[in-house]
Amino acid sequence: MQNYYYKQVQFGPGGITPAVRTILAANVAVFILTSIAGLVDRFYGSDILSFIILRLGISPKLCLGGLHIWQPLTYMFLHSGLFHIFFNMLMLWMFGVEVERRMGTRVFVIFYFFCGLGAGLFSLAFNSGMFAIGQSLSMTVPASLWSAPTIGASGAIFGVMLAFGLLFPDRMILLFFVFPVPALYFVIGLCFFELYYLIFMQGGGISYAAHVGGMLFGFLFLRNPATITRAVGGAAGKLVKPAERDDYYDAASAQKKVDAILDKINREGIHRLTRAERAFLREHIRRQKH
């Protein structure tokens, strides 16, 4: 009798983790505020929303010329519309939850903002560099490269997606919600796609430079996690190397921790569990099902 084994394919990672929840809530809160500003502009003829986007998005003209040095950080909390924020936050939940579980919350927060900041700086350098080269060669270049703001969390999220593919290379992803593809192949294809569009297909209101920058800085972080973590935030803990597979999991140590949590439930009740303990139990149950 021949046995066949199928890899589990599921939609999303399950329950949300603390950092992903906080980042998602912050983005939604800012989106609501900017949406209100847009409504005020519509009814009163003001220009509040444009002012916010121009000052907080990344504009080379203002960031470099006007010393708006906060822009490579603030731009990642702004979104241009409902679909923009919906798909960014969906990707953050789908990929970020498991990456946070692997890295730990503190390291994941550093990783996320390292990718987002790196994506912003890469986009800033690329756009201003292309504009300067075009001007020096008397070429016709879009003025938007110098003045139009870049907004959105996608740079940081592309870094998270890269981390997912490297940390969970055999995990299956439903491409277009239909075709199962190993996460590593998905990430490799994504890298080539973004590089192609960055080089040959600029425009269309999409910052491919930010996407490529997010993946580049995500890769740099995963190559030197301990060094960057200490330099950026001094967070404790070590990150599993990208080359390692999911079988690093120490079942014996995990079972001891599960037993300790179950003893705590018996003594104090399940409502006394911390968020970290609840997340650990969910992850342990998920692994037992695989």
Sign of the alpha-carbon dihedral angle for 234, 238, 243, 246: negative
Q: What is the pLDDT of residue 251?
A: 55
Question: Three-state SS for 215?
Answer: helix
Per-residue pLDDT of the chain (290 residues; tens, 9 = 90+): 344 333 444 455 667 889 999 999 999 999 999 999 999 988 888 888 888 888 888 888 887 778 888 888 999 999 988 999 999 999 999 899 989 988 888 889 999 999 999 999 998 888 777 666 766 776 665 656 666 788 999 999 999 999 999 888 888 877 766 778 888 888 888 888 888 888 776 665 678 888 999 999 999 998 877 777 777 655 434 444 443 334 334 555 667 777 788 878 777 777 777 777 777 777 777 665 54
Tokens of 251: 């079942």
Q: What is the pLDDT of residue 109?
A: 92
User: Cα separations (Å) of 135 from 138, 146, 204?
Assistant: 5, 11, 21
Q: How many domains does the chain have?
A: 2
pLDDT in tens, 255-265: 777 778 887 87
DSSP code for 179? E
Report d(CA 183, CA 165) in Å as an integer: 5
Answer yes or no: do 188 and 257 share one domain: no
Answer yes or no: do 157 and 259 share one domain: no
Q: How far is CA 274 from the centre of its chain?
A: 25
Sign of the alpha-carbon dihedral angle for 99, 285, 249, 227: positive
Question: Three-state SS for 175?
Answer: strand
**CB 66: neighbour CB atoms within 10 A?**
12
Query: For residue 97, what are the contacts with CB-CB under 8 A and spacing of at least 6?
Result: 12, 13, 14, 15, 16, 17, 20
- The residue whose two tokens read 């936050």 is 89
Answer yes or no: do 223 and 263 share one domain: no
Q: Does 242 map to a domain?
A: no
Report d(CA 160, CA 149) in Å as an integer: 23
pLDDT in tens, 175-232: 766 778 888 888 888 888 888 888 776 665 678 888 999 999 999 998 877 777 777 6
Q: What is the pLDDT of residue 143?
A: 59
Residues in the chain: 290
Answer yes or no: do 48 and 148 share one domain: yes
Q: Does 13 map to a domain?
A: no
User: Cα separations (Å) of 188 from 2, 74, 75, 256?
Assistant: 33, 29, 26, 38
Answer yes or no: do 189 and 254 share one domain: no
- The residue whose two tokens read 């490269």 is 145
Domain that holds residue 280: 249-289
Question: Three-state SS for 245?
Answer: coil
Q: Taking the model in full, what pTM does it have?
A: 0.74
